[in-house]
Chain A
């Protein structure tokens, strides 16, 4: 009897954790590995945050080879194949429009001007798949405050680079180039909204929207404009890329909403890349606690 090993209750892995051991291994391995990779010279120091620490991120491979970035082709593997032609230096982001302090930011100055942090966010694509991604960036609110928007600034418009030489997909009129996205000023100021310059602690790969992109985790992925060259404060709701070509299928708000289906397919469930079974899609992609207040009293079926 005395030889029996004594197992403390604290040493027993809870069943829920045990059942997720593969996910856990995958996630922690990925996290551990990227720490050992040589850091890219261009990125200053950054800090980790609590955002998404309970999630297991998708692999670097998954995040960088399965992309929607029509500027490089409409296939999921096109961006990874074709985005090499994009030159991300020198790069200027023009902050302009209804603000007191417009400024043409050099990308390297911009990256140094705001403290970088890592946040692990869920990303839900309007097509019905999702990923978990460790982004590196800073809240957009900081940049907006510096620009000092005027009372006329009700919306913020984001424009992607328009250069068919660097972006071969723009040689075909699939979308009305350049890609334009937009947010209401309060959405843009929300602490969850980020400008992203990195991924897994490294500089953002071209196919993911280098050198700088938007990430709005409670909205469908296409709202998060990539390779941004212009941020403009405007009074009227911007005419954004997807509603412009298919107004019946895509709205300006495009909040993740399992109760509002795409006219051609259901939004109730999603396939998390790397998982076999589909999972239920959560209202506001699970960020309702933080953002539901932005839409109080709004009919989200109408403002889809």
Chain B
């Protein structure tokens, strides 16, 4: 990605910059705050679980909730780069790794709830499911794509992989697309909710394509 540049993103950027201005004080604590914030969806499930608030089908509630939060964290992670460009503030980057790892974290819990609560570790059934059910196939693929990303999220891997790190981590785009597809194919009829995730993803990926296109076609030169 190119460096941020006012001449590309225009005057609106200045307003955004002011809106998202971060002082040294807030930045020091913000990462801890974001970390705790990211645990809220899990905390909510635990509280609901103990207070009997998960409804008549608690297992479905938990699995669905973990799934949609995995997808949400993937999309939130993908908003960091656009936010950085639009606000011209590099500090957004400090949250990206944590948010990405939370996407993986919720993905692991979501997968566990399927393997355990839905299939009770019946591996033959699970393999059959992966083979026969397209929504499981794409969901499982999306998860597997996230594994190398999580594994190479540490500083050592970033240094060791050099330019390949960036290439490898572009897999997140594919994982997000498959994640939305997974949700879309699971829904019985009313696709309103997966459509919302799809729309957000289209905007996030569209912005990147647009910026990429602009690099080749700088303004003023036609």
Interface residues, chain A, with chain B CB atoms under 8 Å away: 58, 61-62, 65-66, 70, 74, 76-77, 127, 129, 174-175, 245-246, 261, 264-266, 271, 273-274, 276-278
List the B side residues contacting A246 at CB < 8 Å.
189
List the A side residues contacting B190 at CB < 8 Å.
70, 74, 174
List the B side residues contacting A274 at CB < 8 Å.
56
Q: When the two chains form their complex, are residues B60 and A129 in contact, meaning their CB atoms are under 8 A apart?
A: yes
Complex A-B, nearest 8 residue pairs according to Cβ-Cβ distance, in ascending order:
A66-B56, A74-B190, A62-B56, A273-B56, A174-B190, A273-B57, A65-B56, A66-B57
- Chain B, residue nearest A65 (CB): B56
List the A side residues contacting B132 at CB < 8 Å.
261, 266
Q: When the two chains form their complex, are residues A245 and B189 in contact, meaning their CB atoms are under 8 A apart?
A: yes
Judged by a CB distance under 8 angstroms, whether B218 is at the interface is no
Interface residues, chain B, with chain A CB atoms under 8 Å away: 55-57, 59-60, 118, 120, 129, 132-135, 185-186, 188-190, 192
- How many Å lie between the Cα of A174 and that of B120 in the bound state? 34
List the B side residues contacting A62 at CB < 8 Å.
56
List the A side residues contacting B134 at CB < 8 Å.
264
**Chain B: minimal CB distance from A240 (Å):** 14
Residue in A74, A77, A129 with the greatest tally of chain B CB atoms within 10 Å: A74
- How many Å lie between the Cα of A39 and that of B60 in the bound state? 34
**Chain B: minimal CB distance from A66 (Å):** 4
**Chain B: minimal CB distance from A274 (Å):** 8
**Chain B: minimal CB distance from A1 (Å):** 49
Q: When the two chains form their complex, are residues A174 and B56 in contact, meaning their CB atoms are under 8 A apart?
A: no
What are 27 A-to-B residue pairs whose CB atoms are below 8 Å? A58-B56, A61-B56, A62-B56, A65-B55, A66-B55, A66-B56, A70-B190, A74-B189, A74-B192, A76-B55, A76-B56, A76-B57, A127-B188, A129-B57, A175-B189, A245-B189, A246-B189, A261-B132, A264-B133, A264-B186, A265-B133, A266-B133, A271-B57, A271-B60, A274-B56, A276-B59, A277-B120
- Chain B, residue nearest A67 (CB): B56
- How many Å lie between the Cα of A252 and that of B15 in the bound state? 59
